[in-house]
Amino acid sequence: MTDPRYLVLWPVLAQIGLTFALYAWLSAARVLAVRSGEVRYGCFELGRDEPVRIARITRNLANQFELPVIVFACVALLVAFDAVTAFDVWAGWIFFVGRVVHSGVQTLTDDVPLRGRVFLINTLGCAMLVGHLGLVALRG
């Protein structure tokens, strides 16, 4: 199927898959930390006392409910208005690749400046979708 209305759903589904993968990773990391005696489950109640390596995953998972929400809304509206183009499919994949890179940097390193730079990748993909949606709205 080469219809962009369907192709644009694949990066969205990939983003949802990334979110589920982060949930699984976070759950496993927390269980292992408790089983090893490193922490008790109570430390995860507010997240203040969780080990840094786990806190990074926690924070990244929370990030998956920030900028991606804008992408999801743009894709849904572009599909609803039958306005999806190949540009949007590319923007969706740029966004997703940026999210994967950002997640890797945020969860595996303490390099905050690098994280900020790679965040620009997914921000670009999101901005492309917002921009196209804006043009669709202007054309009315």
pTM of the model: 0.93
* CA distances, 87 to each of 101, 122, 133 (Å): 21, 15, 11
CA separation for the pair 36, 44 (Å, rounded): 15
- Domains identified in the chain and CATH numbers: 4-139 (1.20.120.550)
3-state secondary structure of 12: helix
- Write out the chain's pLDDT in tens, 140 residues: 689 999 999 999 999 999 999 999 999 999 999 999 999 988 888 878 899 999 999 999 999 999 999 999 999 999 999 999 999 999 999 999 999 999 999 999 999 999 999 999 999 999 999 999 999 999 98
